[in-house]
């Protein structure tokens, strides 16, 4: 009986990873269509998010972190690009399209400053990148997010919006830093066996939690859809552009190393952001319109990753045949 449950859980996990490009937008649409049912679930979002982070950290140990820290330049360069260059470009792009005082600009910059996304690990694995480097980037970025995210938001918008930096720091500690430390600790205590024992439950349920977070956040902002219809063409354009900027910065930075695994890893980790966290922060601390660009990136981020994956795979075939 247990074997059947394990098989079912692992099969569902593979199915989710394979069809994530369709499942995430479908979750978003369900939230929009049935928002009256799900908008009251918003209190569960921080707990779901903490669980997702905990499961991610179960796959990382201190030895991996130490090994990747022996090559600090790819890590430091990636973090500099995604939290230094990308927010500045997002701010300039938003100001050009919407004007400096627009809440849409806040949304674009918020997308640029949030931590790297867990789903990048899936793409790095499929494209043949460095999993230890990807996990280390995500873990380190997540651990520093309580300092980085509030400080950058304050740096760009502190003069025009009221923003409780301390509260954001503590919220990020609760939903990212503490679950991350607990996950790594459990992995160390069990000598790496925790995910082996629980993976058939933890992996698929964390995927379901991720879809549920997307669904709930969509339900929260669904009543406001009519307020941004006229801005939709520019919003889509800006969202696509800011996603492409992330991938491009990762690719350009990794080009310095002439290592295919680093190139693939930095490209996908720099381009894939923790969008659910961005929506949580946006809904909690800013006016609803600020969340719209981030919600649109939910629809666009994974399809763009799929296109890049195909390009990398095609490039690998050409190189192997030449």
Whether residue 19 lies inside any domain: the answer is no
Average pLDDT over residues 138-153: 88
Across the chain, mean pLDDT equals 84
Contacts 24+ apart (CB under 8 A), 134-137: 134/265, 134/268, 134/269, 135/59, 135/60, 135/64, 136/60, 136/64, 136/65, 136/68, 136/69, 136/75, 137/75, 137/78, 137/79, 137/265, 137/269
Whether residue 130 lies inside any domain: the answer is yes
- Is the CB of residue 81 less than 8 Å from the CB of residue 206? no
pLDDT at 163: 66
The rounded distance, in Å, linking the Cα atoms of 283 and 288 is 6
Looking at the chain, how many residues does it have?
322
Whether residue 70 lies inside any domain: the answer is yes
Sign of dihedral through CA atoms 181, 184, 188, 189? positive
pLDDT at 239: 92
Terminal Cα distance for the chain, rounded: 50
Whether residue 29 lies inside any domain: the answer is no
pLDDT at 1 over 80: no
Whether residue 24 lies inside any domain: the answer is no
pLDDT category at 23 given cuts 50, 70, 90 is confident
Q: What is the phi-psi region of residue 179: left when phi exceeds 0, alpha when psi lies from -120 to 50, beta otherwise?
A: alpha
Model confidence pLDDT, tens digit, residues 58-96: 877 778 777 777 778 999 999 999 999 999 999 999 999
pLDDT at 183 over 80: yes
pLDDT at 168: 76
Average pLDDT over residues 117-131: 83
Average pLDDT over residues 137-145: 87
Whether residue 4 lies inside any domain: the answer is no
Instruction: Cite the DSSP H helix spans in the chain.
Output: 2-18, 20-33, 35-38, 45-57, 62-69, 72-80, 86-98, 103-113, 120-127, 131-157, 165-172, 178-189, 194-221, 232-254, 260-271, 275-285, 292-321
Where in the sequence is the domain holding 256, given as residue range(s)?
43-314
Model confidence pLDDT, tens digit, residues 209-267: 888 888 887 787 777 776 777 888 899 999 999 999 999 999 999 999 888 899 999 99
Whether residue 129 lies inside any domain: the answer is yes
pLDDT at 2 over 60: no
Average pLDDT over residues 34-57: 82
Burial of 182 (0-12, 13-18, 19+ CB in 10 A): middle
Q: How many domains does the chain have?
A: 1
Whether residue 289 lies inside any domain: the answer is yes
Q: What is the CATH number of the domain that holds 298?
A: 1.20.1530.20
């Amino acid at each position: 009986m247990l074997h059947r449950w394990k098989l079912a859980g692992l099969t569902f996990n593979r199915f989710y990873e394979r069809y994530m490009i369709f499942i995430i937008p479908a979750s978003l649409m369900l939230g929009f269509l049935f928002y009256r049912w799900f908008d009251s679930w918003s209190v569960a979002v921080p707990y779901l998010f903490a669980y997702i982070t905990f499961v991610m950290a179960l796959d990382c140990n201190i030895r991996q972190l130490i090994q990747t820290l022996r090559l600090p330049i790819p890590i430091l360069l990636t973090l500099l690009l995604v939290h230094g260059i990308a927010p500045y470009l997002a701010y300039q792009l938003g100001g050009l399209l919407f004007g400096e005082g627009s809440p849409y600009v806040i949304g674009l910059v918020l997308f640029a400053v949030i931590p790297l996304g867990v789903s990048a690990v899936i793409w790095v694995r499929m494209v043949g990148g460095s999993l230890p480097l990807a996990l280390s980037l995500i873990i380190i970025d997540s651990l520093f997010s309580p300092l980085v995210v509030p400080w950058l938001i304050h740096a760009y918008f502190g003069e025009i919006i009221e923003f409780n930096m301390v509260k954001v720091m503590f919220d990020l500690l609760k939903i990212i830093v503490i679950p991350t430390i607990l996950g790594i600790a459990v992995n160390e205590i069990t000598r790496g066996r925790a995910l082996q024992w629980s993976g058939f439950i933890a992996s698929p349920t964390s995927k379901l939690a991720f879809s549920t977070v997307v669904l709930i956040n969509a339900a929260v902002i669904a009543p406001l859809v009519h307020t941004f219809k006229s801005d939709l063409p520019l919003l889509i354009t800006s969202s696509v552009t800011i996603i492409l900027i992330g991938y491009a910065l990762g690719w350009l930075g990794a080009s310095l190393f002439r290592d295919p695994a680093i190139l693939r890893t930095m490209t996908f980790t720099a381009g894939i952001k923790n969008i659910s966290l961005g929506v949580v922060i946006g809904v909690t601390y800013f006016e609803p319109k600020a969340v719209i660009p981030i919600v649109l990136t939910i629809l666009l981020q994974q399809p763009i990753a799929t296109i890049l994956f195909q390009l990398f795979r095609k490039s690998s075939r050409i190189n192997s045949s030449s």
